Structure 1
Amino acid sequence: MFYQLKHKVNRIGAIFIAAFITIPASAEIPANYYQSVDESTPESLRNSLHQIIKGHTKIPYTSSSTDTWDVLEQADEDPNNSNNVIDVYKNASYRKVGGGNSNYNREHSWPKSYGFPNNVSSNYPYTDMHHLFIANGSYNSSRSNKPYADCTSCNEKVTLLNDGRGGSATESNWTVGSFESGSWETWEGRKGDVARALMYMAIRYEGGSHAVTGHMEPDLILTDDRSLIGASNTGSNIAVAYMGLRAELIDWSREDPVDDYELRHNEVVFTYQGNRNPFIDHPEYIACVFEEICSGNGGGTPPPASTNAWINEIHYDNRGGDVNESVEILAPAATNLLNWRIEAYNGNNSSLYKTVELSGTVPDQQNGFGSINFNIKGIQNGSADGLALINPQGEVVQFLSYEGTLVAQNGSAEGMESTDIGVMETNSTQSGYSLQLSGHGQEYSDFIWQSPMQNSRGSINHNQSF
């Protein structure tokens, strides 16, 4: 499939004189684009990525020449209808009209009110299309400038079924409140998109001046502190601004891996701006930059994957609405979890219902072992639901279940019977508790699953030693 990039000569209604350039839908990263990347430390990776992507070409927001409308209508094109666009929140398909209309508009995923509200020639983030998306006008208004965050007791904003996704009860946006105290939870098919867009903004804009024009640029920072986000809403362009929520954006980037929508958006924007989103091209960089879990190899070659990794902690049910559902993976220090994944199986039909791509390098937390916790919203509450840990070769390392056993009907574990861990959570389990392994050793078989206790997410479990 190819995408046509239109250069307007003028705009009169919907009539354009156009010339066309074609680019492939999934073009490869240009050779040597990331050659200068240094992954040895979080700071070195951040700095080297900034040097690569800074100084991009600014496209006018609205203009009689090529502007952001033209580019976004190509970047967010409906893959099944080149005359339409797909919006980021409602997943609706709308006919392209080449500008403002009653159906869709342009969403600043990093709200412009937080740091750069005034569209002047020196304001590069305002028109940076790596964080702009076509969005349903009503949904964009509802999101407003609320931080991205998981949402409980919230109002539902449903999606539509398009391109085989959206439209189900588990694929909705959720929102509550307003301004920095509010929350907008993007639906599961696009939450990774907005997470990686904001991560790009935090690396692209680090203060200082534009590499070519010399215009001063803001320092955009991801945070979990809502008060800092609120203080960024001054009504003026400012030097330092905040957005978030950082921890949940990291989780979202894991829950929703890069897909063809993001690849297309990245490629089209690159064609015009001349820079790329490194967290789409290399999602493994996220762990180093934002979690300070780095391979430490400088040149970017990850350490070998371990064959001795296992599920070490699980939380799936608690009193009231389930919160902070998660699975923790434990492995020898320096294990790279890139290309590992967790597959979740529903006991009602023994079928795969969720896949979570993993990433990050395991830290040394105790005598050469460590853990990484992965938030996974929507883990089924039983009975006999399963979790499979899959290595980069597609092999099932573990197939565990709780509240009974099941035989997987599809997925990587197809035909395999799960192993019941023998303990469970219920709807009376205290919030903040989890199921954990305890004991002493260096193999999964050395440890025993324990009934719910205070969680130890992302660290060595209680009563566990190596």
Structure 2
Amino acid sequence: MKRFLIVLVLFLFHNAWSQVLIINELDPDSPSTDTAEFIELKSQTPNFSTDGYILVFFNGSSSGGDSSYMVIDLDGYQTDNNGLLVIGSTGVYPFPQLLISENVIQNGADAVGIYQASVNDFPEGTLATQTNLIDALVYDTNDSDDTVLMGLLGETMQYNDNGTNSTQRSIQRFVDGMGVESYSTATPTPRRENDGSGIEINPIQISVAEAQYDEGSSFDITFTAETNVTSDLNFTISLTNYGFNTSDYTGNINLTILSGTNSISTTITLTDDSDDEGDEVLRIQFSDLEEPIVPGNNFVEVRVVDNDFTVAAWGTPINPTTGIVQSTQPDGYYDSLDGLADTALRQALQDIIADPNVVRAQTYADVIDILMEADQNPANSNQVWLLYTEQGRAKLDIQTGSSNAGKWNREHTFPRSRGGFDDIEEDEIADGVDVFWTTEADSLRHGNSDAHALRAADAVENSTRGNQHYGQYIGPSGTLGSFRGDVARSVLYMEIRYNGLEVVNGFPTVTGQLGDLATLLDWHRNDPPDDFEMNRNNVVYTWQFNRNPFIDQPELVEYIWGNNVGDIWDQSLSLDENKLQGVSLYPNPTSGRLYMNASNAVNVEVYSVEGKRLKQYNAVDSYVDIDLASGLYLVKLTNSEGSLTKKIIIK
């Protein structure tokens, strides 16, 4: 009998380790923000290379269809001295050996499997399979069993994380004294054996008092081990990250925690140079720790604020200027519109801005780079200007994770859900200005990444706006509404640019339609284009090779939607032909008095944006007092030297 029991125990123990690599622990739902999700693998032997293995995650929901939603390539990694490999985000302590984004492991009922296969074997949406399967775990967070998913993976049990709300739990693998394997929930133990055995690790934590410092400042970085070290611990750190390098700071990065102690600090001084590099981020990371000393955290980022930012010659949308930034439209860009009206005018305009032989479409990821230039805050080159909240925000504060507080992101002025366009996988690749799609009027999908209708916006406010029609949404309370004309011109552009889109009165529910036209026309008339908007039109043109005509020629709006529908368009009042040399009009905006610095007297004509002459003044040598209501007007100056037409704003 005794011999039989020994044989049985050996059999069970061997059976528990029939795989070379197993799932040892899983935390798919860390409380509140899901910043500490992880999965831990364990190998039969320590320091085991995971080359040739992949980790596949399956979605057990009705929409997921028990198919793959994420694959992680394990090539280039190995387990540690305890045979453990932790895969998680930067919020996991101790720090994972393999990093993934936050909040990407789904809660369940779902599954994860180790395969000896290639990532190419599991394109997104691949049905769960036992082919080349090494180990699998089907799990949930208080969900019903997914018997189909269990069957596909050859599993008979589904394990409940049950670690929601305020108590964090993970699903952990245990083997009892008889070699019997089981899973249960307990307090997470990443990079430590679930039963407390194994070689004890000593994590070191990085701490900094602030997350942001100005150039020229000094700050301390402190490194604290979980327990006192038993011999002098020498280690090196790096602060380099993209453009931030050793020329940007001074300070000791070769450090020693003395035997019998557990901490050391170093003082870093940031170089105050005269270069306009923009805000940068240094990244504190360990370079050479060796087990059992491991990082408690790592890749700790500190922002370095550049005090050498530049200020543009033109104003922000809440302090607008006009006439400083000139349109970069090619000569004759809108000439084909002259003499046309109504439907023919619309079609000719679309032929310009959707010409498949000229116009380019970029990816949605490229739009980030476009906006960092097009929506740059004129008052601070290190910031973008936020559309609805009318404020600057650091370019570095773009939203990259689930948290949106204090972040900015890309706002579709014509909401995606209203327009019927969305992402494709290739949209998430920023491949630069010289890589593009050919596009035409019927290429509605490209509306997803058309920068003429995408703006930098506060991420929280963007969420608040949702997909509301304008008129339903009028912006945050307490703002000046400086965005309203910009928004109107961007969505009106979209109607002409893409077949299938329309701006209509009211609040429609039909996909492809956006409201409210009457509101947007009012916004356009009362908030005319300024230098900020003209500059962004010029920037977007360098990427897409098309322009928003309602910025260059704002009076076109009246001929397509407004008071001049049916009238013949003539752009003569919008062109500065035979320009008077060195003549300027100021101030602009004006309260009524308008000065001019012409060397000889000029005749002055004032026109409405519809092209109707409203005032005429002859032989003016210094200024005129224009008694008209607030709004946008065209002023034409003429004398023997030539003529000049300028847009002015009367406050």
TM-score of the aligned structures, taking structure 1 as reference length: 0.49
Taking CA–CA contacts closer than 8 Å with sequence separation of 6 or more, which of the two structures ends up with the larger relative contact order? 1
TM-score of the aligned structures, taking structure 2 as reference length: 0.36
